[in-house]
């Protein structure tokens, strides 16, 4: 029993190549599948992710079911991910290749139908994101993008944006001028 648990059935180099190849394949597949896969998983996407992990399991471990073989595969996956994420951060062309660029979903209050279809996003999902960020609907937006990591960024039309400190200071100064003018009129 202990032999089956502790003896790695395939050469370590084979395990390394298998693990790294499957890792890179999954990264490429997720990149091709699009930002939506990372943004929010619906029920179908979740099932695909679960089944995908099961499908590639044997490609990583091969004919090896040992405890050490599984541990080595896990260590290689976590290590490869740590290295890959850091390399992507410092190599600009690789960052663009892996992450891609933002996708414009709404421009000046108008839907970009082709982008929505390509990403597999419904208008209701985008409208929900717009409402969560302070808009009442697509008509309130200047620009809505889906970022490479899956975040929905909403830029509202200027007339729909919340007031900031500068706006409040300008309003306060204007009110003071009006009050001063009214006081001057009342004094006459």
Q: Which tokens sit at 123?
A: 């208008």
Given a cut of 80, whether residue 20 has pLDDT beyond it is yes
pTM for this entry: 0.58
Given a cut of 90, whether residue 62 has pLDDT beyond it is no
CA atoms lying within 13 Å on the CB side of residue 14: 11
Q: Which tokens sit at 53?
A: 């992990």
Given a cut of 80, whether residue 36 has pLDDT beyond it is no
Residues 41 and 110: their CA atoms lie apart, in Å, by 25
Q: Kindly give, in sequence order, each residue whose CB lies less than 8 Å from that of residue 175, ignoring residues fewer than 6 positions away.
A: none
């Amino acid at each position: 029993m202990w032999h089956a648990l502790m003896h790695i059935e395939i050469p370590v180099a084979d395990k390394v190549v298998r693990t790294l190849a499957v890792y890179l394949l999954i990264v490429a597949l997720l990149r091709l599948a699009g930002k939506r896969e990372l943004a929010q998983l619906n029920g179908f996407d979740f099932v695909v992710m679960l089944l995908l992990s099961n499908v590639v399991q044997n490609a990583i471990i091969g004919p090896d079911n040992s405890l050490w073989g599984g541990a080595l595969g896990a260590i290689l996956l976590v290590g490869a991910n740590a290295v890959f994420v850091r390399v992507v951060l410092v190599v600009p062309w690789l960052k663009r290749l892996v992450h891609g660029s933002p996708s414009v979903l709404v421009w000046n209050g108008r839907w970009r139908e082709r982008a929505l279809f390509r990403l597999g996003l419904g208008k209701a999902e985008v409208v929900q994101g717009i409402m969560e960020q302070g808009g009442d609907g697509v008509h309130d937006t200047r620009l809505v993008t889906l970022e490479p990591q899956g975040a929905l960024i909403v830029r509202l039309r200027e007339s729909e944006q919340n007031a900031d400190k500068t706006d409040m200071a300008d309003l306060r100064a204007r009110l003071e001028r009006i009050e001063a003018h009214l006081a001057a009129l009342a004094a006459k």
